[in-house]
Amino acid sequence: MSNLLYPARRRSAGQVVLIGGGSSSALTAIRLAERGFRVIVLEKAKIGNGSSSRSAAGIR
């Protein structure tokens, strides 16, 4: 997560691609990156500005 591209202007290779940049994806991306994974988060708007609280994941 050291390189944020907005908008993405080059091809990127990652081991994990997360769709949506809500709080759940952001935390997942951080944890995976801490464990050495190359992570790409695809978000159409702003990172952390999503609706994770209304997702089917049921964050409690």
Residue 10 is classified by DSSP as: S
Give dist(CA 50, CA 3) in Å, integer: 21
Output the pTM of the full model: 0.60
Determine the Cα–Cα distance for residues 59 and 17; give it in Å rounded to an integer: 21
Domain boundaries, the chain: 16-49
The secondary structure of residue 54, as a DSSP letter, is: G
Give the tens place of pLDDT for each residue, 15-54: 899 998 888 888 899 999 999 888 888 888 777 666 655 6
pLDDT, position 10: 61
